[in-house]
Chains A and B, each alone.
Chain A
């Protein structure tokens, strides 16, 4: 099973700042990686798939990069609605899929 490790566990930033979230895979997943955003009481929302492709209606301030084992989600300038928990997910050896443990993005 591919294990995804996200860092940091919690990131405290202010609106307008740049956020950089990391996801490391225990083995190569090529570019088969997605990022989801989850707010309290809501389902996960897909932001990025295939490591760098934005899903429909996702603002351009969200971008993804990486391949192999190291991936990054960048939010270029934080908006108040961006404070949430972010998960990475891989599908390289579908099925199964596995998720990271999440990074909580808090308002500083």
Chain B
């Protein structure tokens, strides 16, 4: 059964870099044709797609965040990583990772299930 688990520091100082890990079990990041995404949820902006990575390694980013975001994979550890540079209070949110919906082997691109449980990151000095 596919499970995703986000982890990382809960508190980051303004102007520093936020770094999170999504550990995947029950599936391989290298197995196609899946897409692995990062999302966040803040009280002010609701749910927001940050970006993600195809199994091939091709990243796609939300244009509004692209200049500050990097998403990559450590295939030896089966982990997806997210870094957000130059954070401000507006980056305070619960961060989630998720995978493409798959039903009976068919991938439904752009819909997401399952999701990890999420990790709260607060940006504050």
Contacts and interface: CB of A to CB of B under 8 A. Distances in A.
Interface of A: 32, 34, 42-46, 49-50, 55-56, 87, 89, 91, 94-102
B101 A49 contact: yes
B60 to A, nearest CB: 5
Nearest to B47: A99
B60 A95 contact: yes
Count class of interface residues, chain B = 20 to 34
Interface stretch (B10-18, B82-90, B111-119): B111-119
B34 interface: no
- The secondary-structure label for the interface of chain A is loop
21 contacts: A32-B110, A43-B96, A43-B98, A43-B115, A43-B116, A46-B111, A49-B108, A55-B103, A55-B113, A56-B103, A87-B47, A89-B47, A91-B110, A91-B111, A94-B110, A95-B110, A96-B60, A98-B49, A99-B46, A100-B46, A101-B46
A73 to B, nearest CB: 15
A87 B15 CA distance: 31
Interface in B1-60: 46-49, 51-52, 60
